[in-house]
Amino acid sequence: MLRQGSSDDIEDVSLFDADDEVSRRSKKSKIRHPVASFFHLFFRVSAIVVYLLCELLTSSFIACMVTIILLLSCDFWAVKNVTGRLMVGLRWWNQVDDDGRSHWRFESRKVSAQGRKTSSESESRIFWLGLITCPIIWVIFAFSALFSFKVKWLAVVMMGVVLQGANLYGYIRCKVGSRKNLTSMATSYLGKQFLRQTVAKEDQTAS
């Protein structure tokens, strides 16, 4: 009876493992945190839309400026404290010790004991797409405001660059690691590009 019971237990576990494997495969492409994914894009896209359409909607610069800054502030808080932790398992923050020294902390969620990813691929794409694309758009707005001499809008645009650029930098540090790792990766990439160009030139001269 004991042997039979033990074999039954083993069979049950194998069946549950198979069910878990099927469910994991089906959840890879699903969005596990739809609310977080929505607000990850809502505030930053809304700030861009308001910036583009504010002169058509109202003639009050103060109202547009306050609305954009509020949207950017909400986006900074939501991305830094909520969406990054839920969607990709990353977080960063500033900590002040007892001596009054400021320390920046960059953390990434550890992989589970079975080696499974805790975040879905769809959420990861949404997170990084919104995190990288929107700061680039604000940089374009900054150059546009500078060259078109819209000085009053330059402060608003720079606020978007700073707030969204800070989140981008923080999460890249969480993903890559320390600043030394980031520098070494950039140096390695430049070295490979230089080596390829050198080999290509040598092939051209030899031919």
pTM passes above 0.85: no
User: Among 106, 153, 160, 173, which residue's Cα sits nearest to residue 133?
Assistant: 160
- Map tokens 């390829």 to a residue: 196
- In angstroms, how far apart are the furthest CA atoms of the chain? 87
Tell me the per-residue pLDDT of 88-136, one tens digit each, with 9 for 90 and over. 989 888 888 778 788 888 888 766 545 455 668 889 999 999 999 999 9
Q: How many residues does the chain have?
A: 207
Give CA–CA dist 156/68, Å, rounded: 8
* Pair 126, 132: CB distance under 8 Å: no
Mean per-residue pLDDT over the chain, rounded: 78
CA trace torsion 186, 187, 190, 196 (10° rounding): -130
194, pLDDT greater than 70: no
- Cross-strand bridge partners of residue 158: none
* Pair 103, 95: CB distance under 8 Å: yes
- Cross-strand bridge partners of residue 106: 92
Tell me the per-residue pLDDT of 147-187, one tens digit each, with 9 for 90 and over. 988 888 999 999 999 999 999 999 998 888 745 555 555 56
